[in-house]
Structure 1
Amino acid sequence: MTTSTSTPDSYYERIDEHRYKPTAHAGGAWSTDEQHFSPLGGLIVHALDRHLAGRPGAEMALGRMSFDILGRLALDECETRVEVLRPGRTIELVEVTVVIGGRAVVRARAWLLATLDTSAVAGGGAGRLTDPASLAPWDMASRWPGGYIASLDVRPLAPPLPGRTTAWISTGLDLVAGEAASPRASFVTLVDTANGIAVRESPTEWMFPNVDLTLHFHRAPRGDWTGLDTTVVFGPTGQGITSTVLHDVDGPVGHAQQLLTVRPQP
């Protein structure tokens, strides 16, 4: 754990085997004294990876990851607890709970599937996105506050539109100080950004935080960039949905959905 008074180049510092301290870089967009869910989602996958790393047998693929946000994500020490709900050699269900201040604030469930060679029938889905190296950065911090947003390199394929944006997201920060994160944990660390890149209404006038995040993968992501092809819809009775096709530099890897609670700013 870093003892310097300066902010480390990471979203979290490890306290012990299951506890982590968020840095200022994890600060939220709706409230800067809360954690943005995006790096916390990555931390949950990191905790899952560590739980699975010491077990015998072949590595299993992450097919689905669902996160339910149960309460306020204070910018405070958090603990991760991992439990296998449905063990199996080919299909397994694992739950990760995040506790802050003695209260469960996130419950996440991961369906893990055995891997085998299906390359002969692989196909379908969207085409590849324009390479991020050829795109100009966008100052997302001009619209959103918080340490997390300030930490990002955001490169839209075209100027962002209300409710519709396709962009690449990357960061130069580590997930946990001094620790290597898996490609899937690093990828998930950036996915919850989707709800902020395709803003339908000004966040100074309307609130539209997500209460969940569900990811489905048809292959494992790789590389340093997370591609988000995002559409946001608001309904007439206070609900909304952010839908995203997820990409890495090789093409689409899956989908993400976020349920929004839409309401005017107080």
Structure 2
Amino acid sequence: MIACVTPPPPIPPGPFYLPRGEHTDASGTAVGEFEATPSTTGPWYADAQHMGPPSALLARALERLPGGAGARIARVTVEVLGMVPAGPVTVTAQVERPGRTIELLAATMRAGGRDVLRARAWRLAASDTAVAARETVAALPGPDAGTVRAERPHGWLPGFLDAVEWSWLDGVELGDLGPARAWVRMRVPLVEGEQPAPLQRLMVAADCANGIAAPLDVRDWLFVNTELTVHLHRAPAGEWIGVDAATVVGPDGLGTCAATLFDEAGHTGRIAQALTVRSR
């Protein structure tokens, strides 16, 4: 397939977040203050952030917690307690259950005077299992095989959608209905002055799954995830994250999105999202 490339939109005015100070308190809790930029604005509401950048910011806090050398995050669950408003956010993180080989990590995002997101992650000690490694999922065609689209679909708000690059293997753009496969790449840093870690990039892409596999027209319906759970069997690498997603909608306002995640080396993990579905 020959890639069809259109010029990307102008780079957004800044990264997703501006750092406003970080420290560790007397209890060992890591505390970070950040200012969200317009690049975080989600497609649903002009005064709320897309959940991808906040989820990645929580993953950043979890990754930075002290722990065993070479330990890997195997699962992250982000619980959405409410919309994340535009503006300042505070992130706290701590080791909830320490251990030599298995640790449970926790992080919280606070904004507008209340907790808006909570995350937990299992961090496991790494070991050499190369001789036992098994894979049952075929790799996706790479991002160069897709159709790169810069235009936002009608009805989707600017901000986050302009801060990421999309290469579509199925369909032609975000907003096409049904199961879909696409590659996602951040066009701006997560935090000003930092190179995003691969897990941070993956969290941004993972939260896009229900939009990639949009089940309904966003001009008529909302299908918002109330959580995001990511399982990883291999640490991701590189800038592009592939998402092979499908969404199902039930008869009484509930939906589920499930996706397989890839980097350019192959399959790296899976995600699921619980959705609340309602007409506008």
| Common fold: TM-score over 0.5 | yes
Letter in 2 for 1:162: L
The CA distance in 1 between the partners of 2:220 and 2:13, in whole Å, is 33
Does structure 1 residue 78 correspond to structure 2 residue 83? no
Letter in 1 for 2:115: A
Does structure 1 residue 149 correspond to structure 2 residue 161? yes
- Spell out, residue by residue over 1:143-167, the C-alpha distance to the aligned partner (whole angstroms, 9 max, x if none): 4213001122111112165220000
Match for residue 166 of structure 1? 181
- Of 235, 241, 248, 2:263 maps to 248
User: What does residue range 1-150 of structure 1 map to in structure 2 within 5 Å?
Assistant: 8-17=13-22, 18-52=32-66, 57-139=68-150, 141-143=152-154, 144-150=156-162
RMSD over aligned CA atoms reads 1.6
- How many Å apart are 1:30 and its aligned residue? 0.8
SS at match of 2:34: strand
- How many Å apart are 1:212 and its aligned residue? 0.3
The CA distance in 2 between the partners of 1:8 and 1:20, in whole Å, is 16
- Of 211, 217, 240, 1:196 maps to 211
Moved more, 186-195 or 29-38: 186-195
Q: Normalised by the size of structure 1, how large is the TM-score?
A: 0.92
Q: Normalised by the size of structure 2, how large is the TM-score?
A: 0.88
SS at match of 1:187: helix
The CA distance in 1 between the partners of 2:193 and 2:13, in whole Å, is 10
- How many Å apart are 1:121 and its aligned residue? 1.2
Does structure 1 residue 221 correspond to structure 2 residue 249? no
Where in structure 2 are there 5+ consecutive unaligned residues?
A: 1-10, 23-31
Residues 44 and 80 of structure 1 are in contact (CA less than 8 Å); yes or no, is this contact kept in structure 2? yes
Where in structure 1 are there 5+ consecutive unaligned residues?
A: 1-5
Letter in 2 for 1:159: G
SS at match of 2:260: strand
- How many Å apart are 1:7 and its aligned residue? 6.3
Letter in 2 for 1:232: T
Match for residue 251 of structure 2? 236
The CA distance in 2 between the partners of 1:104 and 1:187, in whole Å, is 23
Residues 184 and 221 of structure 1 are in contact (CA less than 8 Å); yes or no, is this contact kept in structure 2? yes
- Spell out, residue by residue over 1:189-246, the C-alpha distance to the aligned partner (whole angstroms, 9 max, x if none): 2221111112111111111100000000001000000100000000111100010001
- Greater helix percent: which structure? 1
- How many Å apart are 1:38 and its aligned residue? 0.4
The CA distance in 2 between the partners of 1:90 and 1:173, in whole Å, is 34
- How many Å apart are 1:134 and its aligned residue? 2.9
SS at match of 1:85: strand
Moved more, 129-138 or 256-265: 129-138
Letter in 1 for 2:238: G
Letter in 1 for 2:197: S
Count of residues in correspondence between the two structures: 257
